[in-house]
């Protein structure tokens, strides 16, 4: 099995991925850690608690970053995920509460309790991972793997022409996290834009998800309308589920190894620039950062079929 901590800003596609993390028999979900991003952090925490309650699978939830490390927060536009993060559908009250521990402390404690075993899957801005490294740099050598939904190598951005939202929302945290030297795979838009979760796929998912079904289906309709208007196709990209798909079914993705730099300032902030390992450059600064793996593509239909079959 895969013991994971899932770091998230739910978020419509986050909710789909959380459902997978709660459902997949090979995933041992150790906890959800929350960050601002698609919504403010208290809403993200509320949604994480709600989703685990509806799935009748209680897991620890630890609240994390409320703002970026350095830059000023740009609140996410409410027309993408809705003001409540779940497509503005009416949501039931919650009974459970977050831990008193911060997300970063929860990550540090959990990784130290099971050295070499825990995979961090992060699908929001990366403040919690950056804060965890700062709290205890030793975790860099103790995680099993880090999987991040974020960035774009050749695909272009979704917030600016060059930047993907999770990296754009906190480029300084992303830079620290992506160059920390831990074993890491970046699942960015080059892969996630190949995957389209169509209305018929969601109908199958909702039918199998019990009390969670109406929340997944209702929030999907809102996200679908955004994609229709912004991208002109019928469906949505299940970005965050792709990070879990890579973890469980890596052969569905095309990957490359190399060095990565995050632009942290200026009009290109949030851009991720990749230097493949087999290229030599005169300026050796590019090859001095630790190696990581990036996704350059995905078998989109097979990834979506895996999501539907899991749920």
Instruction: Give the residues lining the site for ligand BDR (CB under 6 A).
Output: 11, 13-14, 38, 123-124, 149, 158, 164-166, 239-240
- Cβ 292 vs Cβ 257: under 8 Å: yes
Q: In sequence order, what are the residues at sequence separation of 6 or more whose Cβ sits closer than 8 angstroms to the Cβ of residue 284?
A: none
Name which of 149 and 295 has its Cβ closer to ligand BDR: 149
Q: Residues 166-205 vs Ca ion: string with x where CB under 5 A?
A: ----------------------------------------
Among 275, 226, 279, CA closest to 38? 226
Which whole-number Å values give the CA distances from 267 to 168, 205, 264, in the listed order?
A: 11, 40, 9
**Residue 164 interacts with, from ligand BDR, Ca ion, none (CB under 5-8 Å by kind):** ligand BDR
Closest residue to ligand BDR in the complex (CB): 165
- Return the exposure string of 125-158: e unless at least 16 CB atoms fall within 10 Å of the residue's CB, then b: bbbbbbbbbeebeebbebbbbbbbbbbbbebebb
Q: Smallest gap, in angstroms, from Cβ of residue 254 to Ca ion?
A: 22
Nearer to ligand BDR, 105 or 238 (CB): 238
Q: How far is the CB of 9 from ligand BDR (least distance, A)?
A: 6
Residues 5-24 that bind Ca ion (CB under 5 A): 9, 11, 14
Q: CB-wise, 49 or 108, nearer to ligand BDR? A: 49
State in angstroms the smallest separation of the CB of 112 from ligand BDR.
Answer: 27
Contact 240, 149 (CB under 8 A): yes
User: In angstroms, rounded to a whole number, what is the distance separating the alpha carbons of residues 204 and 198?
Assistant: 10
Q: Which does 158 bind (CB under 5 to 8 A by kind): ligand BDR, Ca ion, none?
A: ligand BDR
201 binding partner (options Ca ion, ligand BDR, none; Cβ < 5 to 8 Å by kind): none
CB of 302 to ligand BDR, least distance (A): 20
Q: Annotated catalytic, 239?
A: yes
Active-site residue identified among 46, 172, 193, 239: 239
Quote the least distance from Cβ 233 to ligand BDR, whole Å: 16
Q: Does 123 bind Ca ion (CB under 5 A)?
A: yes
Task: Return the bridge partners of 61, or none.
Answer: 32
Do the beta carbons of residue 103 and residue 9 sit within 8 Å? no
- 124 near Ca ion, rule: CB under 5 A: yes
Using CA atoms, how far apart are residues 311 and 308, in angstroms rounded to an integer?
A: 5
Q: Which is nearer to ligand BDR, 37 or 213 (CB)?
A: 37
Task: Compute the distance between CA of residue 18 and CA of residue 29 in angstroms, rounded to an integer.
Answer: 9
Cα–Cα nearest to 83, from 34, 127, 42, 117: 42
Listed in sequence order, the residues at least 6 apart from 211 whose beta carbon sits closer than 8 Å to its beta carbon are 54, 55, 56
Look at residue 247 and give the partner it binds from Ca ion, ligand BDR, none, a contact being a CB closer than 5 to 8 Å depending on partner kind: none
Which residues here bind Ca ion, judged by CB under 5 A? 9, 11, 14, 123-124, 240
Which positions are catalytic?
A: 239
């Amino acid at each position: 099995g895969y013991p994971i901590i899932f770091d998230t800003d739910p978020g419509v596609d986050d909710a789909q991925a959380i459902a997978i993390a709660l459902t997949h028999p090979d995933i041992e979900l150790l906890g959800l850690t929350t960050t601002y991003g698609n919504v403010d952090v208290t809403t993200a925490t509320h949604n994480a608690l709600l989703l685990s309650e509806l799935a009748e699978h209680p897991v620890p939830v630890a609240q994390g970053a409320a703002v970026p490390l350095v830059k000023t927060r740009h609140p996410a536009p409410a027309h993408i995920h809705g003001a409540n993060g779940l497509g503005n559908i009416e949501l039931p009250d919650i009974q459970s509460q977050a831990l008193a521990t911060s997300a970063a402390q929860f990550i540090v404690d959990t990784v130290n309790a099971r050295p070499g075993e825990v995979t961090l899957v992060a699908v929001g801005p990366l403040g919690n991972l950056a804060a965890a490294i700062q709290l205890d740099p030793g975790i860099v050598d103790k995680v099993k793997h880090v999987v991040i939904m974020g960035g774009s190598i050749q695909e272009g951005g979704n917030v600016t022409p060059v930047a993907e939202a999770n990296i754009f929302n906190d480029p300084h945290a992303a830079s620290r996290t992506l160059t920390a030297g831990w074993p890491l795979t970046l699942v960015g838009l080059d892969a996630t834009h190949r995957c389209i979760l169509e209305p018929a796929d969601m109908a199958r998912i909702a039918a199998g998800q019990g009390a969670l079904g109406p929340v997944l289906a209702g929030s999907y309709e809102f996200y679908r309308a955004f994609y229709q208007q912004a991208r002109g196709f019928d469906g949505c990209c299940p970005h965050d589920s792709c990070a879990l798909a890579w973890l469980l079914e890596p052969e569905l993705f095309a990957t490359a190894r190399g060095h990565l730099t995050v632009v942290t300032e200026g009009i290109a902030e949030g851009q991720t620039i990749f230097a493949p390992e087999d290229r030599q450059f005169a300026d050796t600064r590019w090859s001095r950062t630790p190696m990581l793996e990036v996704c350059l593509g995905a078998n989109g239909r097979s990834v979506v079929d895996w999501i539907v079959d899991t749920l």
